[in-house]
Amino acid sequence: MSERELVRFESVDGIGVITIDNPPVNALSPGVPEGITAAIDRGNADPGVRAMVLIGAGRSFIAGADIRQFGKAPSRPANARRHYDVTDDSPKPVVAAIHGYALGGGLETALACHYRVAVPSAKVGLPEVQIGILPGAGGTQRLPRLIGPKAALDMIVSGRHLPAEEAHRLGIIDEVVPEAQLRDAAIAFARRVADKRPLPRIRDNDEKLAEGTADLFEATRKSIARRARNQRAPYACIEAVEAACTLPFDEGCARERKLFEEQVNSDEARALRYAFFAEREAAKLPHIPREIELRPIKTAAVVGAGTMGGGIAMSFADYGYPVKITDATQEALDRGMARIRSNYETSVKRGSLAAEEMEKRLARIEPVLGYDKIADCDVVIEAVFEQISVKEEVWKEIDAAMKPGALLYTNTSGIDIDIMANVTKRPQDVAGTHFFAPANVMKLFEVVQGTKSAPDVIASAMDLGRKIGKVSGLAGNTDGFVANRSRAPFSTEMVIMLEEGALPEQVDKVMVDFGYPVGPFVVSDISGLDIGYDTRKRRAAQYPNYRKLPIADRIVEAGRLGQKNGKGWYRYEPGDRTPHPDPEVARIIKETAAELGIAQHSFTDDEILKRMLFASVNEACKILDEGKALRASDVDVMWLYGFGFPRYRGGLMFWADTIGVREVYNQIAAWHQRYGERWAPSPLLRRLADAGTPLREAKAERLR
């Protein structure tokens, strides 16, 4: 495509219409900024043109700079005229006509225009902080001048996308125009303002900047301290907006640019860029044709009104789907519906949900008794007790009741999908859709491919996840699938280190300092220690060489179940979730370790971190080697959305690459010598280390 074709210019009765056409989202890829500059110049040189309109072809205005270009050599000289400045300096008015997204450099382009009109469904924002950078094309200087530093800080430090109506209220958008009439409405708008002078250049109005006091910036820094720890980008955003309030426009832009250059190749930015593309890659299924026809999903059903079943029903209702929920008895159903209502009421109390919206969502959830009541639904998700005999009973009922062609999914967190599928006469219609607790909150949606799952059943599940606000990741049918199986060694190692002398609070501090929102022992206390206890019992019966965890078992046998009964790995005051180290736990740990005769030693934070994460890196390599996951980057996406792995570290495998595949292998091999079989290096890890191939690039030939 020649440079010019990426950007088209046509004159429509004296209005120059400039169309950006760089699918899929009109990113400012090489050739686009140049095309915009040339078009603006052309419009200004054409005496027949009185004003111009900048509009995007396809589904969006401009979704920002081309993120794939970051880290590469710039495609043009640093002193080249930038389309932002050319637009701003244009002697004739330029109107940005926004639909879809105006994000990052896209909104900065619109802010360099003299007017902005948008359709109601449009979204605008400066999300650069979410990829570890800050706006680098005047956004931190123009936005505070347009809407005031406070509102600008909120947008830039959060990176959130604003709907057009809100942007209009703030003054970013001059006019909201009807959905299907954007182009004509923008041309009419341009005609109306064609002769108005002076042109409203945002850079010229400083009157709102007075709001930008030192207190405001200090307060903003304090407000983000916890969630932005270990990160630089959010603070660089604040510094740039501060510069807007203390420096003249051009000097502020130079400050912004310098901060941008410092950040764009940082570890934080590289990790967040990796996460951005890994998340999109996870949706791609190389073994299933992209154009495969998906099965329609308009109505859903959930079998099992327990904690997970209730959360799953809420996920559907939250995204507008009518959903039926059923259980074995009316009492169980009533308990389930009561839990759903109380979860929504908690959100209303917290102000994160409007009361009328709660009622709308509750109205979409219909409790029913009897499989015949759900037979017509397009999809059913089974979420009953994790016991094979119970599953088999329920699946016989589901198979007998559900209409032909219905999608039959199970929410099991580790039971072999084929066990459920083989109970039915239509195993091709069965797959796993594994939600993570709480199901209406956690974004990971692990789709599990059974031996006989049909391609359209898998593709429909992956798409369903996206439609109910989740991030879908594909897993092969193995014990614990990809997410839980790759995390299991992490959980085992953290308890084994207690046998050798570590304490829960020490391990948790290391992981919180690393960037986790809460430590893994607190996470166990939140989810309940009895669940892990039952799983360990089941595994010990199933696998002869299963590594028992006597300390974890003793804690449960001492009646410590976690937050639900006020004591677990920590002690909790009634009504308070603050974990308090408990000498009783330290006593159980010391006594059990003494009985086991295990030598005690002190731990460095680095050893604790690597023992836990390397154990999972090794397991992830085994999973890929067996073809139970397609890409190492899928594992990373699952850790980001399923286990709260700090996003600015990219993911488990990306983080391990910052240490180096060879060093990771060597350490694991050394621990294999010292600790035995559980640390046997994965053959794939050995091959990657020998070849020097980054872990994040590991792929399976196909899913098996």
Helices (DSSP H) in 515-563: which residue ranges? 520-527, 529-542, 550-557
Q: Could you say which of 5, 34, 108, 595 is catalytic?
A: 108
Min separation Cβ 121 and ligand T1G, Å: 12
Min separation Cβ 653 and ligand T1G, Å: 19
Write the secondary structure of 561-582 as one string of H (helix), E (strand) and C (coil). CEHHHCECCEECCCCCCCCEEC
271 binds ligand T1G (CB under 6 A): no
**Cβ burial 461-499 (10 Å sphere, 16+ → b, else e):** bbbbbeebebbbbbbbbbebbbbbbbbbbbbbbbbbbbb
For ligand T1G, the closer CB: 50 or 273: 273
Q: Determine whether 28 is exposed, middle or buried from the number of CB atoms within 10 Å of its CB (0-12, 13-18, 19+).
A: buried
Question: In angstroms, rounded to a whole number, what is the distance separating the alpha carbons of residues 449 and 445?
Answer: 13
Q: Which of 131, 156, 471, 664 binds ligand T1G (CB under 6 A)?
A: 131
Min separation Cβ 23 and ligand T1G, Å: 8
For ligand T1G, the closer CB: 135 or 304: 135
Min separation Cβ 640 and ligand T1G, Å: 15
Question: In angstroms, rounded to a whole number, what is the distance separating the alpha carbons of residues 93 and 43?
Answer: 10
* 446 counts as catalytic: no
Point out the residue whose Cβ comes nearest to ligand T1G: 104
135 binds ligand T1G (CB under 6 A): yes
For ligand T1G, the closer CB: 29 or 307: 29
127 binds ligand T1G (CB under 6 A): yes
Min separation Cβ 84 and ligand T1G, Å: 9
Tabulate helix, strand, coil % of the chain (nearest 5): 55, 10, 35
- Report whether 92 contacts 43 (CB < 8 A): yes
Question: In angstroms, rounded to a whole number, what is the distance separating the alpha carbons of residues 682 and 704?
Answer: 18
For ligand T1G, the closer CB: 152 or 498: 152
DSSP characters for 629-653? SSBHHHHHHHHHHHS---GGG--HH
Min separation Cβ 128 and ligand T1G, Å: 5
For ligand T1G, the closer CB: 131 or 661: 131
Question: In angstroms, rounded to a whole number, what is the distance separating the alpha carbons of residues 608 and 532?
Answer: 21
Min separation Cβ 7 and ligand T1G, Å: 17
For ligand T1G, the closer CB: 24 or 692: 24
One character per residue 58-97, x = contact with ligand T1G (rule: CB under 6 A): -----xxxxxx-----------------------------
Q: Which of 137, 173, 447, 522 binds ligand T1G (CB under 6 A)?
A: 137
For ligand T1G, the closer CB: 27 or 684: 27
Structure tokens at 144: 């505070």
- β-partners of residue 367 are 325
* 108 counts as catalytic: yes
Return the DSSP state at 96. E
One character per residue 382-411, x = contact with ligand T1G (rule: CB under 6 A): ------------------------------
Options 21-29, 484-492, 607-615, 616-624: segment touching ligand T1G (CB under 6 A): 21-29
- Residue 435 to residues 287, 312, 651: CA-CA distances in angstroms? 23, 8, 19
Question: In angstroms, rounded to a whole number, what is the distance separating the alpha carbons of residues 612 and 196?
Answer: 65
Question: In angstroms, rounded to a whole number, what is the distance separating the alpha carbons of residues 53 and 349?
Answer: 45
309 binds ligand T1G (CB under 6 A): no
692 binds ligand T1G (CB under 6 A): no
268 binds ligand T1G (CB under 6 A): no
Options 98-106, 324-332, 365-373, 689-697: segment touching ligand T1G (CB under 6 A): 98-106
Q: Minimal CA–CA distance to 444: which of 640, 302, 278, 304?
A: 640
Question: In angstroms, rounded to a whole number, what is the distance separating the alpha carbons of residues 504 and 512?
Answer: 12
Q: Minimal CA–CA distance to 653: which of 628, 677, 678, 631?
A: 631
DSSP characters for 28-91? B-TTHHHHHHHHHHHHHH-TT--EEEEEESTT-SB--B-GGGTTSPPSS-TTSPPHHHHHHH-S
Torsion of CA 414, 415, 417, 422, to 10 degrees: 180
Q: Which of 7, 20, 27, 153 binds ligand T1G (CB under 6 A)?
A: 27
144 binds ligand T1G (CB under 6 A): no
33 binds ligand T1G (CB under 6 A): no
56 binds ligand T1G (CB under 6 A): no
Q: Minimal CA–CA distance to 213: which of 235, 244, 237, 252?
A: 244
Q: Which of 43, 136, 562, 568 binds ligand T1G (CB under 6 A)?
A: 136
Question: In angstroms, rounded to a whole number, what is the distance separating the alpha carbons of residues 664 and 686?
Answer: 10
Question: In angstroms, rounded to a whole number, what is the distance separating the alpha carbons of residues 124 and 118?
Answer: 10
112 binds ligand T1G (CB under 6 A): no
**Cβ burial 657-693 (10 Å sphere, 16+ → b, else e):** beeebeebbebbeebeeeeeebbebbebbeebbeeee
Options 126-134, 376-384, 568-576, 653-661: segment touching ligand T1G (CB under 6 A): 126-134
Min separation Cβ 161 and ligand T1G, Å: 7
Which residues ranging from 508 to 567 are in contact with ligand T1G (CB under 6 A)?
none
282 binds ligand T1G (CB under 6 A): no
Min separation Cβ 470 and ligand T1G, Å: 13
Min separation Cβ 64 and ligand T1G, Å: 3
- β-partners of residue 475 are 448
Q: Could you say which of 5, 34, 128, 281 is catalytic?
A: 128
Q: How many residues bind ligand T1G (CB under 6 A)?
A: 24
Min separation Cβ 160 and ligand T1G, Å: 11
For ligand T1G, the closer CB: 138 or 579: 138
For ligand T1G, the closer CB: 123 or 434: 123
Q: Which of 37, 50, 86, 101 binds ligand T1G (CB under 6 A)?
A: 101
Output phi, psi for 50, to 5 deg: -100, -25
For ligand T1G, the closer CB: 70 or 533: 70
Q: Which residues are catalytic?
A: 108, 128
Instruction: Using CB under 6 A, list all residues that contact ligand T1G.
Output: 24-25, 27, 63-68, 101, 103-105, 108, 127-128, 131, 133, 135-137, 139, 277, 280
